[in-house]
A and B are shown apart, each in its own frame.
Chain A
Amino acid sequence: MAGKIIYRGESEMPFSPVSSGDMTWNRTGTWRYIRPKYEDKTPPCNAACPAGLDIPMFIGLVDEGRYAKAWNVIREENPFPGVCGRVCFHPCESHCNRAEYDEAIAINALERFVADQAPPLEPGSPTQERREERIAVVGSGPSGLSCAYHLARMGYGVTVFEALPRPGGILRMGIPSYRLPKDVLDKEIADIQAYGVEIKTNARLGGDLSFKDMEEYDAIFLATGAHVSRKLNMPGEDLEGVGSGLDLLRDINLGKAVRIGKRVAVIGGGNTAMDAARAVLRLGGTPLVLYRRSRDEMPAFDEEVSEALEEGIEIRYLVGPTKVIGNNGRVAQLECIEMELGAEDETGRRRPVPIPHSNFSIEVDSVVVAVGEEPDLTFLPEDIRIQAGMVSTDKGARTSRKDVFAGGDMAHVDRTVAHAIGFGKHAAISIDCLIQGRNVKGVLPGIQVGEGGTLSMAKYLSEVARRRSQHVVTFDELNLDYFGHAERNERPKSPAPERVGDFREVSAGLPEQDASREAARCFSCGVCNGCENCYVFCPDLSVITDGGMVKYRINYDYCKGCGICIAECPRNALSVEKEAK
């Protein structure tokens, strides 16, 4: 470093006003009274994802064409990118800041794209150090397998007990293959097994297996789901030809022959009702969906309802069934009554009220009831506390027994695949804390993503990931000067008339070019993606990039605190603090 140079006269001076040495002696950082700092924040999509996916991170990798790395980033939080990339209700997209600019990023389609690019995983390929402790997981649905996966990745020996002959739970039994092809599920379960997870099928707790048999394990995670269909308690419900939606879907998924006839009434407005109606259509029947409220109150995901309507399925709103009328022990007619909407009930939806004397009957060959499911809790020992028909758990996913945890549909009202995966991860963290002697309630606040209860496994396992602030970046906090408008890239779907003939998948994956274009649309809210704006704009060359893991650093010896880096960051990945004097 040169010192200050004093010229005695013009003969010593350069011909133009450039410095003869460098100016590093002049530590302009002392002029600073505000201090910019790199601080990644929480993107709204990530905070909204019940499974806690680091969405801008994986989309950024798609943009760079690094698909295998993107796949690993998803699987840091969620072992089911192929499943979720098809069936998730993607709350991430409804929280996407880009929706306020033009259209939300097609995150769900990109997740599937990444899964479609994933390499096959060889058994035993992960080289995680094994631990002695063994964990039992009961139920091989999304929650159980998510928990098993995360525990196995942390080195635990995990055995999953599944009552049915094939693993997957609701993913295999409840979701028709036109939404989730079985080979996609098989591959992702195989990927989980590759981490050393052992899955025992035909092992029903409460059947051949007793709760006592589980006690040799260091911890138990219960995730048996909610698969007991609610009844309508109306006359004639026991007649032949009346069945539950979930049973119908399970029989179809198991490849059993189903006899439903031509005219099939499907009662309910949830996802099971939609799936059942669309399955009936594919079996050659003519479904008629009867829902007691209006479209606005339907609990089914919007996309499912739209696809059902595209396929020509008739949905009659404000109609409730009152009686099944039989003929020789078999269903022949369904008597219904028209409804109108009254005051709001405890769920915030307007309650349907029957209109007196509006009864009418329709001719049917069978009736499918899909009005909700309840967990079967009959196998549980008495000391496991139950509340409101579900297993009661504390903030650490723990039941009333110290080493027994529970999650998924049997313990929660948020019954989506993404929630189930999140609950499984939550339990895995709690079980690890139990075994490591850590206080889970002290750990959880530091590993949350935003304030909605989403947890990050990356944050749990890495101190670097915990540096990301929990502040959720809003649209107003972005610098939009650097973004151009660009149309959202939708995944192609086969036309309705072509898809109703069989159970082949309705949606295709995004072509690579579209995926690349879509990934480039992501604002990467709050997450530095190395766009170089700060580096380019810093008037003091005080933004340093050295190609390491951390993309940029600030040289505080020279940073004057002008704040241009903060103003020009398109995504609010820099923060400012007052300089300590």
Chain B
Amino acid sequence: MKKVVSGNKAVAYGVMLSRVEVISAYPITPQTTIVEELSRFCAEGEMEAKFIKVESEHSAMASIIASSVTGSRSFTATSSHGLALMHEMLHWAAGARLPIVLVNVNRALGPGWNIWTDQTDSLSQRDTGWIQLYCEDNQEVLDTIIQAFRIAETVNLPVMVVLDAFFLSHTSEVVEIPDQEEVDRFLPRFEPQYPLNPEEPRAYYGMVPPDYYMEFRYKMQKAMEETAGVARRVDEEFSGQFGRTHGLVEPYRCEDADAVMVTSGTVTSTSRVVIERLREDGINVGLLKVKMFRPFPMKEIKGVLKGIEKVGVIDRNISFGHGGIFAQEIRSTFCNEDERPTVFGFVMGLGGRDVTPEAIEEAISYTLENPRPKEEVIWIGLKR
């Protein structure tokens, strides 16, 4: 069934169709309408889920960590400061290897107060052990939620599904809402390996001495290494059943390109339009959308960018003292390769500033015109 829905509503539909059993969340702009919609689903009996009201995001994550241990499919959503407040529990969920799915609506962190889109909130959680998937449109949001539970429950790692504030969260588009039976076939009931059950007592998440701690971390890394392959297979199966694929990365007109722009989130759609036009003008430029940020799909990225001379990375985020975060990741992907592209790191669109076609064109021109970047961090659209 096709419906015109906002990104946040697409999240709610994805959660409902995934037969989530426990939801705990604390409202924060721009995530709030997700929670409103889900609480309505629960209250009106459209979802058979327990909705736990809490006093903070830290408690929201703590609650669903507990519910997930019992084997209940569990979900939360947040944004910005809410995600930051969850930070400790994010480590917990990952360390406990719980297949929780969290939606983060990208929003800038204060001060100064800013409710608009910016990826620094989710990227700051890079090292917590969560899988991170960035979405470009509302259909992808819905599809990714359903896939996220499959991936999480296969590799026993939590998944963060990320979408841009307002550009997706509050913008409506046509979205195909799949049938419940179809989703049930794709996403069977979650059967945890170590369910919390008084009949079979276990000690959960107690102290682990130096004798064993490293081994658990090794297992997390191994699970992350498996995740790219698992996610690819899940996406293929999804595509076979629902006719839509999103991939881990998505190249666009990268063949024979003199330069490829790397993007994530909604900037991708704008970039695609710009590149289409430039190609018409005979300018050989391509686009690589990176959907999966953790684990970082190095194999897939190398496959696309091998032989490309120049790569421009558009970052709607910044790691202070180093620069755009995606740019760092791309650089490190190639650092041990004999043949590697020159990487141009662009920072733009922070705090919800529009990333216009002109801004993207400016970044492309810079990449094409300069043999190498004049500075490590190239600011586009900055008012000097």
Q: Which residue on chain A has the smallest CB distance to residue B194?
A: A18
Given contacts A17-B206, A17-B208, contact A22 B201 (CB under 8 A): yes
How does the 8 Å CB contact mask read for B307-325 relative to A, with 1 for contact and 0 for none?
A: 0000000000000000000
How does the 8 Å CB contact mask read for A15-45 relative to B, with 1 for contact and 0 for none?
A: 1111111111000000000000000000000
| Chain A contacts for B202, CB-based, 8 A | 18-23
List residues of B (215-255) whose CB comes within 8 Å of A's CBs: 215-216, 218-219, 223
* The one of A9, A10, A18 that contacts B203, using a Cβ cutoff of 8 Å: A18
* The one of B204, B212, B215 that contacts A18, using a Cβ cutoff of 8 Å: B204
| Chain A contacts for B208, CB-based, 8 A | 17
List residues of A (463-518) whose CB comes within 8 Å of B's CBs: none
B201–A16 touching, CB < 8 Å: no
* The one of A15, A19, A22, A24 that contacts B156, using a Cβ cutoff of 8 Å: A15
* The one of B206, B218, B219, B223 that contacts A19, using a Cβ cutoff of 8 Å: B206
Given contacts A9-B215, A10-B219, A23-B201, contact A16 B206 (CB under 8 A): no
A17–B201 touching, CB < 8 Å: no
B205 within 8 A of A: yes
* The one of B95, B156, B216 that contacts A13, using a Cβ cutoff of 8 Å: B216
B212–A7 touching, CB < 8 Å: yes
| Chain A contacts for B205, CB-based, 8 A | 16-18
A3 within 8 A of B: no
Distance from A533 Cβ to chain B, minimum over Cβ atoms (Å): 19
List residues of A (138-196) whose CB comes within 8 Å of B's CBs: none
Query: Roughly how many angstroms separate A432 CA and B223 CA in the complex, as a whole number?
Result: 78
Query: Roughly how many angstroms separate A7 CA and B212 CA in the complex, as a whole number?
Result: 8
Q: Which residue on chain B has the smallest CB distance to residue A9?
A: B215
| Chain B contacts for A548, CB-based, 8 A | none
Query: Roughly how many angstroms separate A15 CA and B216 CA in the complex, as a whole number?
Result: 7
| Chain B contacts for A9, CB-based, 8 A | 215
Given contacts A22-B202, A23-B203, contact A17 B194 (CB under 8 A): no
| Chain A contacts for B193, CB-based, 8 A | 14-15
Q: Which residue on chain A has the smallest CB distance to residue B204?
A: A18
| Chain B contacts for A17, CB-based, 8 A | 95-96, 204-206, 208, 212, 216
Q: Which residue on chain B has the smallest CB distance to residue A26?
A: B203
Distance from B255 Cβ to chain A, minimum over Cβ atoms (Å): 41
Query: Roughly how many angstroms separate A541 CA and B223 CA in the complex, as a whole number?
Result: 33
B97 within 8 A of A: yes
A16–B156 touching, CB < 8 Å: yes
Q: Which residue on chain A has the smallest CB distance to residue B201?
A: A22
Query: Roughly how many angstroms separate A345 CA and B203 CA in the complex, as a whole number?
Result: 72
- The interface size of chain B toward A, counting residues with CB under 8 Å, comes to 20
Q: Which residue on chain B has the smallest CB distance to residue A7?
A: B212
How does the 8 Å CB contact mask read for B143-166 relative to A, with 1 for contact and 0 for none?
A: 000000000000010000000000
> SS class of chain B's interface: helix, strand, loop or mixed?
loop
| Chain A contacts for B215, CB-based, 8 A | 7, 9-10, 13
Query: Roughly how many angstroms separate A425 CA and B122 CA in the complex, as a whole number?
Result: 76
A16–B97 touching, CB < 8 Å: yes
| Chain A contacts for B204, CB-based, 8 A | 17-19
Distance from B212 Cβ to chain A, minimum over Cβ atoms (Å): 7
Q: Which residue on chain A has the smallest CB distance to residue B98?
A: A16
B201–A15 touching, CB < 8 Å: no
Q: Which residue on chain B has the smallest CB distance to residue A12?
A: B215
Query: Roughly how many angstroms separate A269 CA and B96 CA in the complex, as a whole number?
Result: 76
Query: Roughly how many angstroms separate A9 CA and B208 CA in the complex, as a whole number?
Result: 14
Which of A7, A10, A22, A24: most chain B CB closer than 10 A? A10
A24–B95 touching, CB < 8 Å: no
A13–B219 touching, CB < 8 Å: yes
B223–A15 touching, CB < 8 Å: yes
Distance from A31 Cβ to chain B, minimum over Cβ atoms (Å): 15
| Chain B contacts for A21, CB-based, 8 A | 202
Distance from A13 Cβ to chain B, minimum over Cβ atoms (Å): 6
Distance from A210 Cβ to chain B, minimum over Cβ atoms (Å): 73
List residues of B (167-204) whose CB comes within 8 Å of A's CBs: 193-194, 200-204
Given contacts A15-B156, A15-B219, A16-B156, contact A24 B201 (CB under 8 A): yes
Distance from A12 Cβ to chain B, minimum over Cβ atoms (Å): 9
Distance from A27 Cβ to chain B, minimum over Cβ atoms (Å): 14
Q: Which residue on chain B has the smallest CB distance to residue A23?
A: B203
| Chain A contacts for B216, CB-based, 8 A | 13, 16-17
Query: Roughly how many angstroms separate A16 CA and B202 CA in the complex, as a whole number?
Result: 12
Query: Roughly how many angstroms separate A406 CA and B19 CA in the complex, as a whole number?
Result: 76
How does the 8 Å CB contact mask read for A224-254 relative to B, with 1 for contact and 0 for none?
A: 0000000000000000000000000000000
| Chain A contacts for B203, CB-based, 8 A | 18-19, 22-23
Distance from B203 Cβ to chain A, minimum over Cβ atoms (Å): 4
Query: Roughly how many angstroms separate A184 CA and B104 CA in the complex, as a whole number?
Result: 70
Query: Roughly how many angstroms separate A28 CA and B201 CA in the complex, as a whole number?
Result: 16
Distance from A89 Cβ to chain B, minimum over Cβ atoms (Å): 48
Q: Which residue on chain B has the smallest CB distance to residue A21?
A: B202
Distance from A151 Cβ to chain B, minimum over Cβ atoms (Å): 50
| Chain B contacts for A22, CB-based, 8 A | 200-203
Query: Roughly how many angstroms separate A16 CA and B216 CA in the complex, as a whole number?
Result: 7
A13–B96 touching, CB < 8 Å: no
Distance from A532 Cβ to chain B, minimum over Cβ atoms (Å): 15
How does the 8 Å CB contact mask read for B78-114 relative to A, with 1 for contact and 0 for none?
A: 0000000000000000011100000000000000000
Residues of A within 8 A of B (CB): 7, 9-10, 13-24, 541
Q: List 18 A-B contacts (CB under 8 A).
A: A9-B215, A10-B218, A13-B215, A13-B216, A15-B193, A16-B95, A16-B205, A17-B205, A17-B216, A18-B204, A19-B202, A19-B204, A21-B202, A22-B200, A22-B201, A23-B202, A24-B201, A541-B201
Nearest 4 A/B pairs, CB to CB: A16-B97, A10-B215, A19-B203, A22-B201
Known contacts A15-B156, A24-B201, then 4 further A-B pairs from the complex at CB < 8 Å, ordered by chain A residue = A15-B193, A16-B216, A17-B212, A23-B201
